[in-house]
Chains A and B, each alone.
Chain A
Amino acid sequence: MLSYILRRLGLSAAITVLAVALLFLIIHMIPGDPVSTILGPKASPELRAALEARMGLDRPLPVQIGLFFMNMLRGDLGLDVFSNRPVTQIVLGQVPYTLVLILVSILWSAVLGIALGCYSAVNRNSLGDRLTGVLSVSVIAVPAFVVSLYSLLIFAVKLQWFPAIGAGAPADWGDQLHHLVLPSLAIGLSWVGYIARLVRASMLEVMGEGHIRTARAFGLPERQITYGYALRLAILPTVTVIGVGMGFLLSAAVFTEIVFSRPGLGKLVIDSITTRNYPVVMGSVLVSTLIFVASTTLADIVNAILDPRIRAGK
């Protein structure tokens, strides 16, 4: 187990290094440069040179990448152009909002999706199964920001059941939860359909396997067979999908945060782009990449815990 985790962490570290380097290179290859982004096109050459020197952009590219990594390892992502506060501090201050939103969204949608998937698999070809199937397909690809806008329009503006703006008062848990309902509905909705279909398909596959027949031949209660034996296996692909899905969740969170004016990484990025605060944009992108890599790693480790065969490398 330990060796598996170590190997997996090694791979994640490699991917992180590569991703950061690639991001750095892409940024350098595309037209447009941070200095004009920050200063605007009409800045004087002296001002440009000064900022370039401050950001280390006058050094050779490999040196820049090296320095960038060194600083990153120290947790230094540069300074905010306006406030001169460390970018790390600014970005990390927003991470909890986004993470809470994402986790709540995936939690409710996973619970509902797994339940629906099990129901569909057990009552295969029933009316409920067909209905779940069509609904699932229908919600899967509806963009989260469209759901955000519609739910904002219906439940916040028209019906006024839920607040339209913000994340709630800092100390008031109930208020925060109240503010989470619509955004997490918007992000989670498509996941319900996705997970339901995934669980249904893998449940049906598992239910057809020999060991389920064995369990039945020993007279195990059908409930235990479904939830203890079949779901235990059928859940494995879902774990992976949720881990990989963190990328989509982060993207969906950007839109949802904007629509509901919630603090978070997405709101930070958009605000920083608007104000040409380039270091903060890069810092946010970097941190969200790290979150994504961490979540896929975590999913693989959870899978290894749930599946002894992966642990043994079989």
Chain B
Amino acid sequence: MAVLDIRDLSVSYATPRGALKALRDVTMKVPEGKITGIVGESGCGKSTLISAIIRLMAPNAKVGSGEVRFKGEDLLSRSEAEMRALRGTEISMVFQDPMQTHNPVLTVGRQMIDIQYRDKLSKADKRKRATEMLALVGIPDPQARLNQYPFEFSGGMRQRIAIAMALMAKPSLLIADEPTTALDATLEVQIIKRLRELQDEIGCSILFISHHLGVIAELCDEVVVMYAGEVVESGTVRDVFHNPAHPYTRALLECDPGHIKVRTRNLPTIPGNIPDLVSLPTGCIFADRCDVRYDACGARPVMATASSGHQAACHLIAEKEPA
């Protein structure tokens, strides 16, 4: 069963130019106990998607339609108080920039104790739990470091603290929004490894957002490829990365430096730009930049099955689909 099951989710932002349709009919799942990755360029709607899941959206954002089912129950119909009860307990988050994640004038310990406010534990017990969590994410001398302020930690350390905080309540779903983007490569590897171990230990599901294909390949079981506010391809990491069905995924893989075998002077890029999300093209969202575009692309494609559990929104797949 899927922990998170998003169906036909559409979100738009009110802007002076009109409604910016940031997400359109997004359908995806996060299976229980698995790590699901979302990959896409900046502006593809990754951030909007996660803020819609935990319902911490910008004031000008509006959910047009769809469902966000968490353990079978639609989060969009929950009250704000019910939502708040879920945040930090059942669903928790790790954000992108570790330098901004913590309150700069409160000690790390205080912040880790504060988020346990729901538990009827003594302060000493809460502190003990915070110490344990810090040890678990690999922070040396955790007891003493609880008394320190965020600025006394490095970026990598702060992200470990963020992960420790997020996992403290043993959530069913951890959402990690580009948690390693701001870190350098060696730290990235360490944190990914630790996240994987912790996931095994706690048994939670993880929704991992990244634009870094290597990280997704390393860490995730399933992957969802997003482009300009739509899901264009989804499946297991193996299927999607080794046998990409959507032209966009193929282009993305070709541009990934880790994937390039032949040394070239210039990194390849996908020509063209993301379409204007205020006035959308009528047909396939990727048609403008697609190198295999043909007549059918004037109409919007639906998700078609490429192989079992592997789908892509491309007319070429639909044609090949075993009817």
Contact = CB atoms under 8 A, between A and B. Distances in A.
Given A211-B100, A214-B95, A233-B105, A220 B115 contact: yes
Interface in B27-80: 54, 56
Nearest to B54: A217
Given A224-B114, A314-B151, A218 B165 contact: yes
Main secondary structure of the interface of B (DSSP, over half): loop
B84 to A, nearest CB: 5
A2 interface: no
Interface string A227-262: 011001100100000000000000000000000000
Nearest to A124: B59
Interface stretch (A80-88, A197-205, A267-275, A301-309): A301-309
B114 A309 contact: no
B105 A216 contact: no
Nearest to A309: B151
A215 interface: yes
B10 interface: no
Contacts of A211: 100-104
A41 interface: no
Contacts, number: 72
Given A219-B87, A221-B84, 14 more contacts: A211-B100, A211-B102, A215-B103, A217-B88, A218-B88, A218-B115, A220-B88, A228-B114, A232-B106, A233-B104, A233-B105, A306-B105, A308-B151, A314-B151
12 contacts: A209-B100, A210-B95, A210-B101, A211-B102, A217-B88, A219-B84, A219-B115, A220-B114, A236-B105, A307-B105, A308-B104, A308-B105
A306 B106 CA distance: 9
B92 A229 contact: no
B89 interface: yes
Contacts of A214: 93, 95, 101-102, 162
Given A211-B101, A309-B149, A314-B151, A217 B87 contact: yes
A178 interface: no
B104 A218 contact: no
B117 A220 contact: yes
Contacts of B93: 214, 217
Contacts of B25: none
B85 interface: yes
A211 B56 CA distance: 13
Contacts of B165: 218
A214 B100 CA distance: 9
Given A216-B87, A217-B54, A220-B117, A229 B106 contact: yes
A213 interface: yes
A209 B87 CA distance: 19
A209 B102 CA distance: 10
A127 interface: no
A62 B243 CA distance: 89
